[in-house]
Chains A and B, each alone.
Chain A
Amino acid sequence: MDFTYSPEDIAFRDELRGWLATNLPQGWGETVFLPEDEDENAMFRLDWERKLYKGGWNGIAWPREYGGRGATLIEQAIFAEEMARAKAPEGLNIIGRNLVATTLLHHGSDAQKARFLPKIISGEEVWCQGFSEPNAGSDLAAVRCQAVRDGNHFVVNGQKIWTSFAQYSQWCILLARTDPSAPKHKGISFLLVDMKTPGITIRPLRQISGECEFNETFFDDVRVPVENLVGELNGGWRIAMTTLAYERGPEDALGRQLVFRQELDQLLATAAKLQRGNQTAIEDSLLRQKLAKSLVAIEIMRLNCLRAFSKSLKGAPRGAEASMNKLYWSHVMQDMFDTAMEVLGPLAPLTAGDARAVDGGRFQLAFLRSKAFTIYSGSSEIQRNIIAERVLGLPK
């Protein structure tokens, strides 16, 4: 057991720190923040992603031949830490970088890797994930969106829903039914769809936070060249499972942990200033206990990730344990934002724009956003099923 970084790791960290110091906008995090307008915000994040790429800091985990650094898991952990420390913006192409690229690296043809990976890492092409449908959410294998072979194309018809970032995306990974007569897991194919193809309509959906990050996406006779099939025809389910394994992995969780810890630090600082009766909120022993619970739980989230990393470093396969991680952090974080609302007390109802809103309403926004944690990337109930059946071996 060893929690120190090697000299190479420290050199890597210092190089990244140096780069961040010169490349983040002047006053970043103090006087300069992310734009408030959603579209401007997205473009800002895309510009940042391209800047990262130019500096050699995008897709660091990718193999060198595709423009990455072949970063070790430890370097990925350091990267996540440093980005959080600098409060650096998150690139826009999360799905492209983390999910599509990893899936293509595992299952894509050489031609697909050569065509798509360079433009993902450079931030030229943003991706979205067309998996969920109105009648296929948790039961993802029930997808009905159809792809019918017609010469050198598949013709896609159907609807996807909850498609995050579709409005900013050039490409989409799509799960489509290619054999309606086969058992449901065996008739699905994994397609790469150009979002400029005629027949695609995107309709934004407003979320409980008021934002519109996700969309309904309609496909009417959308023609997809056959070379955009990943893996085998009707073999898409297995490929989608790879995508999901990375969506729930510790790389993702560690970065989140650091951001959550910063939210909590901000909450502590706020609680030390907020007057509640004849004391500050932080002096209230009940609130202190709740805040301390969140502190402990968030620190354990980090330790969970480091344990998972260490197992991976020794070659342990990625398994259902990722579900434990996700189930853990999603609830811990929802609890923390519940506590945040309690800390704000009488001011809790005041949102961004009100003169008395605490810290510009950031906790209200985060509280609302946190409701998604236990739904996306597999809901908590689905994670519990996975843990019970695949980790604990309970009967189906």
Chain B
Amino acid sequence: MDFDFSQEQYMFQDTIRELLANALTMEHLRNGATEELWEQLAETGVFALLTGEADGGLGLGFTDLALVFEEFGRALVPAPVAAAIVAGGVIARFGTPEQRAELLPGHGEGRLRLSPAFAEAGTTIPSAMTATARPAGTGWTVSGSKILVPDAAAADKLLVALRFGDDELGLALIEPTRAGVALREQNVLDLTARYHEVTFDRVALAASDILGGKPDSATVVACFDAAAAVAALQMTGMAARTLDEAVTYVGQRKQFDRLLGSFQAIKHRCADMAVAVDACRSAAYYAAWALDEAAPDERARAVSMAKSWCGDNARFTCNQAIQLHGGIGFTWELGLHLFLRRIKCEEASFGDADWHRERVIDATLRSMELTG
């Protein structure tokens, strides 16, 4: 029994934190100048971490990345980076040998970009998705559309969640340049990255384009759970950062001849934020562990606990941090809006808090053999 990280895992976190402190300043974020970041991060091995050793990777797990994703959130690393790592991890786990050989080495070096395409205008939940692959000859044709695909224009392959017939879901590997695929850059709350709506108009799909060679709902759910857990981990980092910003500010700013942080109304808010952040860590770290080690039911429960809790609480700490900064908190200049905007995107992605809570209680009632 050990619910803590190893020395190596903490050291890796330090490396990432240092790198991001230099490579990703507020200036970079505001100007969207984060291209070199991919290379710098690739050198640390983050993209190859989930890839099996046979495919040239490190063969590690999400637990080894948990603190890294938290740092991503703290530094507000643009969403396409974590999205690519999730997509790579799913390919490493479910891809055919050919798919792994084609994609993972380039992904590991940060040159080949992967981007998952899940959300639709009507839902972010796999079981409710409508983008569909219909049998056509020896393969399929894909129609439908996905929104908020992280920087689809820069991606080499999209990992698209699709419906195959009535019961089965699957993940398709489709390059954004394939005939019938259209991209439209979207206006999005998050200012640190580009997002696209991707429309598929009778796009041809071969069996070799389907992750694992044939549709398999388990791949979609595993990808969804990984992405939701990574959102929770990143929101934990965002929550921790907004707490730190607030504590630093109220520890320096004076009004009424006193430091704001000496007022109890302010202290108590900060204490509540600290408790919220600590609980985010418990939930999100456990979800990361569950991605690697738990059976699908427990994995789903752990992920849904983390996604709902961390979403609510990152929103809470960010709101508090803005409030505790007063007027400057409301400015474009300060930068807390970047967190506010990003958190809102993460909250809405891969199942909102209400949906995840429903999943938790449904699973709990079923395990207790209670109906309703």
Contact = CB atoms under 8 A, between A and B. Distances in A.
Contact of B370 (A268, A314, A328): A268
A62 to B, nearest CB: 21
Contacts of B168: none
B1 A395 contact: no
Interface in B30-54: none
A282 B365 CA distance: 9
Nearest to B305: A296
B28 interface: no
Contacts of B364: 268, 295
Interface in B239-291: 247, 250-251, 259, 261-262, 264, 266-268, 270-272, 274-275, 278-279, 281-283, 285-286, 289
A324 B278 contact: yes
A288 interface: yes
Contact of B251 (A285, A313, A391, A395): A395
A342 B109 CA distance: 55
Contacts of A391: 271, 274
A392 B361 contact: no
Nearest to B304: A296
Contacts of A296: 283, 305, 308-309, 357, 360
A309 B357 contact: no
Contact of B4 (A1, A4, A6, A388): A1
Contacts of A387: 270-271, 274-275
A303 B272 contact: no
A385 interface: yes
Contacts of B250: 394
Select the residue from B285, B293, B361 with max chain A CB neighbours within 10 A: B361
B357 A328 contact: no
Given A314-B4, A394-B247, A396-B262, A295 B360 contact: yes
Contacts of B63: 1
B41 to A, nearest CB: 23
Contacts of B368: 265, 268-269
B372 interface: yes
Nearest to A311: B4
A310 B1 contact: yes
A303 B3 contact: yes
Contacts of B361: 288, 291-292, 295
A150 interface: no
B81 to A, nearest CB: 23
Interface in B343-372: 354, 357-358, 360-361, 364-365, 368, 370-372
Given A268-B364, A282-B370, A293-B357, A388 B1 contact: no
A324 B275 contact: yes
B2 interface: yes
A394 B274 contact: no
Interface string A268-304: 1101100000001011010011011101110110011
Contact of B3 (A271, A272, A310): A310
Given A269-B370, A272-B371, A295-B361, A310 B278 contact: no
Interface majority SS (helix, strand, loop, mixed), chain A: helix
A393 interface: yes
Interface string A16-38: 00000000000000000000000
Contacts of B262: 394-396
A321 B125 CA distance: 37
Contacts of A4: 1
B254 to A, nearest CB: 11
A306 B2 CA distance: 8
B267 A1 contact: no
Given A282-B372, A292-B357, A303-B283, A310 B2 contact: yes
A166 to B, nearest CB: 32
Nearest to B250: A394
A307 B372 CA distance: 34
Given A296-B308, A300-B305, A328 B278 contact: yes
Contact of B275 (A288, A327, A385, A389): A327
A296 B286 CA distance: 12
Interface string A65-81: 00000000010010000
A327 to B, nearest CB: 5
Interface in A44-68: none
B5 interface: yes
B285 A1 contact: yes
A321 B309 CA distance: 20
B323 to A, nearest CB: 16
Contact of A1 (B247, B272, B278, B289): B289
A310 B4 contact: yes
Contacts of A3: 1, 3, 289, 293
A392 B274 contact: yes
Nearest to B371: A272
A321 B281 CA distance: 14
Contacts of A304: 278-279, 282
Select the residue from A299, A385, A393, A396 with max chain B CB neighbours within 10 A: A299
Nearest to B294: A3
A385 B262 CA distance: 10
12 contacts: A3-B3, A265-B368, A268-B365, A271-B372, A295-B361, A296-B308, A297-B309, A307-B282, A321-B278, A327-B271, A328-B275, A396-B262
Considering the complex of A and B, which 8 residue pairs feature the smallest CB-CB distances, nearest first?
Answer: A388-B267, A292-B357, A282-B372, A303-B282, A384-B271, A387-B271, A292-B361, A394-B261
Given A309-B3, A387-B270, A388-B270, 18 more contacts: A4-B1, A5-B1, A77-B1, A280-B372, A296-B308, A300-B283, A303-B285, A304-B278, A306-B3, A307-B4, A307-B281, A313-B2, A384-B267, A385-B264, A385-B268, A387-B274, A388-B268, A392-B247
Interface of B: 1-5, 63, 247, 250-251, 259, 261-262, 264, 266-268, 270-272, 274-275, 278-279, 281-283, 285-286, 289, 293, 305, 308-309, 354, 357-358, 360-361, 364-365, 368, 370-372
Interface of A: 1-6, 9, 74, 77, 265, 268-269, 271-272, 280, 282-283, 285, 288-289, 291-293, 295-297, 299-300, 303-304, 306-307, 309-311, 313-314, 321, 324, 327-328, 381, 383-385, 387-389, 391-396
